[in-house]
Amino acid sequence: MDRKVAIREFEPGDETCFRTLNEEWISHYFKMEDKDREALDHPRSAILAKGGRIFFALVDGECVGCCALLRLADGEFEVAKMAVSSSLRGGGIGRVLLAAVVEAARASGARRLYLETNSILGPAIRLYESIGFRHLPPERVQPSPYARANVYMELVFD
């Protein structure tokens, strides 16, 4: 990535970018599910009001990526709704964004991050692994609200 990536948290008006980026990848690989609609239609009530956070990656002032931290319990968050504009994937924006989200979670006192994804999203899985996420063994996997989820990972802070 030659251009500088800026990371910032949710601001009024970011709802459209959050929805557009996520609908793009979900619709490309899967189909929108009820849980997607809840988060994308109402990010303030579904994520922020419940103690979560939403981060955005900007290049030249344009919103090109997003990632949410959904509060699961004290000190535990789910990394969710991570997306990078299809025209810019593979350029390092996702890595910068995820690293910032992980660091923000760590700095806020989080002990554990969790995520669900799908095995067809190989580049995303490799990114998560490179940041330190580890695959959960089958006996630790909880039922997911997403039909598409078949890979479960966590990052535990020391």
Question: pLDDT of 62-108, one tens digit each?
Answer: 999 999 999 999 999 999 999 999 998 989 999 999 999 999 999 99
- Please check whether residue 54 lies inside any domain of the structure: yes
Owning domain of residue 64: 5-115
Residue 46 belongs to a domain? yes
- Using the predicted structure, report yes or no on whether residue 158 has a pLDDT greater than 90: no
In a domain, 48, yes or no: yes
Task: Kindly report the CATH number assigned to the domain that includes residue 54.
Answer: 3.40.630.30
Q: How many domains does the chain have?
A: 1
Query: pLDDT confidence of 1, banded at 50, 70, 90?
Result: low
Q: How far apart are CA 158 and CA 152, in angstroms?
A: 20
The model's pTM: 0.95
CA distance 74 to 112: 10
- Please indicate, yes or no, if residue 147 is contained in any of the structural domains: no
Tokens of 112: 């554990």
Domain-embedded: residue 35: yes
**Can you tell me the distance from the alpha carbon of 62 to that of 46, in angstroms, rounded to the nearest whole number?**
24
In this structure, is residue 148 part of a structural domain? no
Contacts of 60 (CB under 8 A, 6+ apart): 3
Domain assignment of residue 39, yes or no: yes
Please indicate, yes or no, if residue 49 is contained in any of the structural domains. Answer: yes
Specify whether the CB–CB gap between 133 and 153 falls below 8 A. Answer: yes
Q: Which of 154, 82, 73, 157 lies closest to 114 in space, CA to CA?
A: 154
Q: pLDDT tens-digit profile of 144-154?
A: 999 999 999 99
